[in-house]
Amino acid sequence: MTYDRPALTGVVLGILRSIAPEVEPDGIAPARPLRHQVDLDSMDWLNFLVGLHERFGVNIPEADYAQLVTLDNVLDYLLARLGPAGA
């Protein structure tokens, strides 16, 4: 399955809300560090990354964790591995 950015954003935020139900998706600034915006500890962040892997089947090696700081980073990372919409 392929995703466009808005659809992918919705799914990613849904996964985030499954880890932190108090998160208000409209309050997330895509270019700000995500963990700080939603106050996730390291275990919650790991659960979020595992949730992304389970949902999309994308392997996220530990060496790549430092790339995934903002929502935009997460979306760019996933889009690069999932392929563009319509591909």
Helix, strand, coil distribution of the chain in percent, nearest 5: 65, 0, 35
Assess contact for 38 and 20: CB atoms under 8 A.
yes
pTM for this one? 0.89
The architecture in CATH of the region 5-22+30-82 reads Orthogonal Bundle (1.10)
Q: Which of 76, 67, 69, 63 is nearest to 8 (CA)?
A: 76
> What are 22-55's pLDDT values in tens digits?
989 999 999 999 988 998 899 999 999 999 999 9
Q: Round to whole Å and give the CA distance between 5 and 9.
A: 6
What pLDDT was estimated at residue 86?
40
Q: Which of 33, 26, 34, 22 is nearest to 10 (CA)?
A: 26
